[in-house]
Structure 1
Amino acid sequence: MTFNDNARVGGNTAKRRGRNAAVVGGGAVGVGGIVVLLLSMFTGFDLGGLLGGAGGSGGGTAAEESTIANCQTGADANANDDCRLAAASLNLDQFWERELDGYRAPQLIIVDVETGTACGTASNATGPFYCPPEETVYVDPTFFGVLREQFDTTAGPLAQLYVLAHEYGHHVQQITGVFDRYPNNGSGPDSNGVRTELQADCFAGAWVADLPQQVDENGVPFMKEPTQEQIRDALAAAATVGDDNIQRQSGGTVNPESWTHGSSDQRQRWFDVGYERGASSCDTFSVSGADL
């Protein structure tokens, strides 16, 4: 995804946080479209039960935070992963302020190596995730290199922003009460966990479709129209983190009863639903399991 070079992105509130936070408790237990999948693959444990907004057993001591350096224009965002994510937070907030009455922005933390959170440790090993108790999205940009290495996917700029938009989708679910209305009820292709993740994918697709309409303080569009190649890259990222693909890549058999996030086809399809029809079409909880 390409920002317009002259777009102003310096008004973002993203922060950088380093590794000097002491952590109490285990690994990341926030809601994340990718973190739970990767943790399950890397550790061999099914962490799907963490879905639904439960916090960890404690938080870390306060780490030093700073603003994202050299992040003032669209040209900066095109040149730097940290700035790209920070700049995209402006787009996401603008989109959801228009879509959702009473929207309040989450905090975006760009992780430097690792940091403690109320949901455990944030790092490139845990992947991007949303921590409901803090209403904060955590992303270590080096994670995208891990994604490319482990899953042989390009993870280009729009794919990166799809991941961020997915986590913002979880924030929308948090503030609109989705987590409370549809709590974790175990794994399976018809589970609340799968429906929650597919809805976040759908929200991400709706945001991507709206990108050319989002403008800076001077009325300059933040981004250019996404190309078909960029859309394919984002869809490939969605497919990469499908439960069935994760199971195949880890050498196991495909077992839908253990799914917590949905298949590759489902994740791509619900991204497409949002992209073609908008956020109002993303009620994954009202359709039958056969239509997910």
Structure 2
Amino acid sequence: MDRADDPFRANRPEEPVVAEVPPSSWRPEQPPDPWQGAILPPPPPRHPAPQPPPRNSPAAILGTLVIVLGLVLVVALAGRTPDPVEGTAVAMPGLSEKLAAEPSEDQGPQPVRQLGTNPLLDDGVVLPAVTCELPRIGRSTEQLLAFYQAGMRCLDEAWEPVLREVNEPFFEAGLEVTADAATRCGDAPPEAEATAYYCPLDEIIYMPENRLLDTVGVDRASHLAVLAHEYGHHVQSLSGIMYAVADVSFAMPEGSPEELEMSRRVELQANCFAGLFIAAASGRGSVTGSLSEAAMADFRNTIGGETHGSVENQVAWAWAGFEGEGTAACNTWTADAEEVR
């Protein structure tokens, strides 16, 4: 999600505020898309007999698909407003073969390649209330790691039972805070373009400490929101929504209105998933009411764009999750076009 100065930051309590993680799309022969999220549909992750990603081309190494979502780049700002960047989707070599592979019956829960009808979005599927114990955040690597690890334990606690309930796979995402760490989706994007990102090919959320400290300092709410948004893309990968995105967008021309709308629906859903989690944790443990309010207010720290949607819609979908009664509130796939512009 695009970041902008927060007009309300001066009036916020000293409790840190969340920055958001916008995915950005990487293409084999053009620069990464910083502000707009990119999502590479993940290979069947850590459940039995995963299909290895194709390795016969640089494009394939970046991930089998780059749609304004896959390598999820998030840019958080601190006193600066980057220009929005447009992103598009590209089907990589080997994608159709990899996604066409049918899992055997004894493999256990499998991703469901559906969008609006994905079981994860059924009525009555609700995140449990969770109590997060988050340590104080600081500028040292150890303090940042401790904060992120605690946050991810809490995110796991909220999302695992939901995915189990709908018989979809669950596994923990990895975490990396090293500056400019390379990923199976490719090299880290330039620092000026992204502060955090998620690569579904290695199932790791990248939170480069130098970038985050430069952009949001030690604002707990911002760090938590970035993490929650990126984890939302992990959930999309686990559930099979990303497989369905690949199926639908495979034949779409690059940069077409249809492809851009697909990107917005993915990104806005990640906002909504983040809102669901913040609500599930709000008022318990370390996530006080004021911290959750600050995290939600931070969703307005963004720039509207063709791949992420208008600022109003980005905020609206985050609140749809926070105020919704379950995951059905995050069904961006059945929403009217105006709601995902």
Give the TM-score band, short-chain normalised. Answer: 0.5 to 0.7
Number of the residue aligned with 2:177 = 111
Deviations along 1:131-168, whole A, 9 cap, x unmatched? Answer: 111122111133233434xxxxx872122111111111
The answer for the alignment partner of 2:334 in structure 1 is: 286
- The one-letter amino acid paired with 2:264 is V
Displacement of 1:275: 0.4
Matched, 1:136 2:195: no
Distance change in 2, residues 1:139/1:122 (3 Å): farther
- Cα offset, 1:194, TM superposition: 0.3
Q: Superposition pairs for residues 114-125 of structure 1, below 5 Å?
A: 114-122=180-188, 125=191
Distance in 1 of aligned mates of 2:91 and 2:330? 18
**Pick aligned residue for 1:163 from 188, 206, 226:** 226
Q: Does the 8 A contact of 1:173 with 1:179 survive in 2?
A: yes
What's the counterpart of residue 19 of structure 2? none
**Distance (Å, rounded) in 1 between the aligned partners of 2:160 and 2:196:** 23
CA distance in 2, matches of 1:121, 1:273: 34
Per-residue CA deviation, residues 50-92 of structure 1 (Å, 9 max, x unaligned), is 588999xxxxxxxxxxxxxxxxx95744443321111100000
Structure 2 residue aligned with 1:49, among 73, 84, 88?
A: 88
State TM-score, norm by structure 2.
0.55
SS in 2 for 1:130: strand
Deviations 1:156-199 (A, max 9, x none): 21221111111111111112221222244446597110000000
Structure 1 residues 224 and 173: CA distance shift in structure 2, 3 A: closer
Distance apart, 1:288 and its partner CA:
0.9
Indicate how the Cα distance of structure 1 residues 36 and 288 shifts in structure 2: closer, same or farther if over 3 A, else same: farther
Gaps of 5+ in 1: 3-23, 56-72, 149-153, 214-220, 245-258
The percent identity for this pair of structures is 27
* Structure 2 residue 313 is the aligned partner of structure 1 residue 266: yes
Q: Is 1:147 matched with 2:215?
A: yes
- Residues 266 and 204 (structure 1), Cα distance of their counterparts in 2 relative to 1, 3 Å cut: same
The equivalent residue for 2:322 is: 275
Question: Aligned partners of 1:261 and 1:53: how far apart in 2?
Answer: 22
| Alignment root-mean-square deviation, CA | 3.8
Q: TM-score, normalised by structure 1?
A: 0.63
The aligned residue for residue 241 of structure 1 is 302
Question: 1:280 offset after TM fit, Å?
Answer: 2.7
Q: Deviations over 1:99-133 (max 9, x none)?
A: 22234234332322221111122378132111111
Q: Does 1:195 align with 2:258?
A: no
SS of the residue corresponding to residue 129 of structure 1 reads strand
Distance in 2 between the 1:44 and 1:212 partners? Answer: 31
Which residue of structure 2 lines up, in the alignment, with residue 32 of structure 1? 72
Counterpart AA for 1:276: E
For 1:54 and 1:42, the matched residues in 2 are separated by 32
Query: Displacement of 1:284 after TM fit?
Result: 0.3
What letter corresponds to residue 135 of structure 1 in structure 2?
Answer: E
Is residue 205–residue 272 contact of structure 1 (8 Å, CA) maintained in 2?
A: yes
User: Are residues 120 and 196 of structure 1, via their aligned partners in 2, closer, same or farther at CA, if it must alter by over 3 Å?
Assistant: same
Paired residue type of 1:139: M
Instruction: Say how many residue pairs are matched.
Output: 222
Unaligned runs of 5+ in 2: 1-14, 17-57, 95-131
Alignment-derived partner of residue 176 in structure 1? 239
Q: Is the 8 A contact 1:107 1:136 kept in 2?
A: yes
RCO higher in 1 or 2 (8 Å CA, sep ≥ 6)? 2
Pair 1:91-2:154 in alignment = yes
Structure 2 CA distance, aligned partners of 1:131 and 1:50?
A: 15
